[in-house]
Structure 1
Amino acid sequence: MHDAPAFTAVLFGLRGCLVQAASGSPLPAPGALDTLACLRRRQVPCIWLDDLSSTQGKRLASVLPDWLPGHVANGVRWPAPNACWQALMAIDSRCLDGCVLVSGEPRLLQSGLNAGLWTIGLAACSPSCDLGSQAWQGMSQQEQELARGKATLELFRLGVHSVIDHLEALDTCLTDIALRRRKGEKP
């Protein structure tokens, strides 16, 4: 993000976005650790958010850096915006302007939209593209591409501001949103 306005904070969905559960064991999602390290170097506060129990959240987040805080929705039902606001308060975010939510979970993305955040949908992490499911594994490459295309359209219909396939494309997407912000666009 060269010369782009700094982002106030980035919220991430935990399941599917930052962590994948392969054979029951959590693993960092492709690009998750590099993305988090890059944001940390830029001093952009980050936090993960999920509606799991505290124990489940801690188990999944155990594969992520120790410095990354997490926020469990504590009974707040998505798409209510409260969980996003509470997560931002947990990291002492100074304002909503410039806060971004990244997830493939439609209900969490709707929470981010309701909270007034910029939202980035991860098509490959959406429910229709469950990379670990047997149904996904049984699809041809063309069927997988069609499913990803359908997920992209569903996320745009939801109203998200940008859609990318995976976290490896996040930096380019954040640069685009920074340009939109510089032009005065609001979420």
Structure 2
Amino acid sequence: MSDKQLAAVIFDWAGTLVDFGSLAPTQIFVDAFATFGITVSLAQASGPMGLSKRHHIQSLLAVPEIQQQWQARFGRPSSEADIDEIYERFMPMQIAKVGEYSAPIPGAIDTLAALRQRGLKIGSCSGYPRQVMEVVLPLAKAAGIVVDHAVAGDELPAGGRPGAYMALANLLALAIPDVCRCVKVDDTRPGIEEGRNAGMWTVGLALSGAPAGLTPAAFAAATPAELDAIRQRVRTEHLAGGAHYVIDSVADLLPVLDDIERRLAAGERP
């Protein structure tokens, strides 16, 4: 393979390859906080999506409205110990429920097959901890989603997104010699920033992930005008995060890869 051609694509999981709308983590954050008597909306829960799950909880507790609820209920600000307690409540709920949201996103299976035909390696990383990924990976494989490597959000000492660590761990595992020949595909801003920090081309997804806030049913029922408004809002967010491209879902990825290879051949770098 020429050094002017792509070598690998690194995918996120929920909202990118599986779980249209990224509902598994979003809804379960709502449910976990509810067990403490704290009301978190789906929109609030989706805000920090892309971070590791403990950092996600920490970010939610920093939301003024949520922190006010916490202090009203418990008579004090939340602490590190509270973050740990919510996380410990969240984890078994996540493990128990994630399988219900593991269906491949439409077009994902065909896209991965096309990447393999092109000789590209397929990496992946997630904000999910390894315990959850151990549930997700076999279910995804049974449904036709197979990757060459997967990195979980809690298994690198250096940390997770928006740092470059998980993306670069994929390159090490897949023996990719040049970050410029890699593409990071993600539905969240932290995931896009992860790819940029790793020196990769980045592709944001506008409609399939958490920022769009669409369930499969809501997506199917939405009018073209409604979808376009969501598309433009999320596109603006992703471009602000550094995305080189923004597409609706992974089903639209192949023409983007063609354009990136054209740019590589012309001497461009991410």
Q: Which TM-score applies when normalising by structure 1?
A: 0.87
2:252 maps to which of 169, 174, 186: 169
1:56-107 CA distance string (max 9 Å, x none)? 1232232234453211132513111111111211222222121110111110
Matches of 1:170 and 1:135 in 2, distance apart?
Answer: 23
Equivalent position SS for 2:10 = strand
Residue 49 (1) aligns with residue 125 (2) = yes
1:137 deviation in Å?
7.5
Structure of greater Rg: 2
Matches of 2:116 and 2:223 in 1, distance apart?
Answer: 37
Query: Which structure dedicates a bigger proportion of its chain to strand?
Result: 1
Structure 2's unaligned 5+ residue stretches are 25-99
Q: Name the counterpart of 1:7.
A: 6
The one-letter amino acid of 1:10's match is: V
Is residue 4–residue 178 contact of structure 1 (8 Å, CA) maintained in 2? no
Query: Which structure dedicates a bigger proportion of its chain to helix?
Result: 2
2:174 maps to which of 69, 84, 91: 91
Equivalent position SS for 1:63 = helix
Is residue 11–residue 102 contact of structure 1 (8 Å, CA) maintained in 2? yes
Equivalent position SS for 1:124 = coil
1:11-33 CA distance string (max 9 Å, x none)? 00111100116783310111111
Report runs of 4+ in structure 1 exceeding 6 Å deviation: 133-138
Residue 72 (1) aligns with residue 152 (2) = yes
The one-letter amino acid of 2:186's match is: S
Structure 1's unaligned 5+ residue stretches are none
Matches of 2:195 and 2:101 in 1, distance apart?
Answer: 28
CA RMSD, aligned part only? 2.5
Say how many residue pairs are matched: 185
Equivalent position SS for 2:161 = coil
Q: Percent identity?
A: 27
Q: Which TM-score applies when normalising by structure 2?
A: 0.62
The one-letter amino acid of 1:6's match is: Q
Is residue 101–residue 120 contact of structure 1 (8 Å, CA) maintained in 2? yes
The one-letter amino acid of 1:17's match is: T
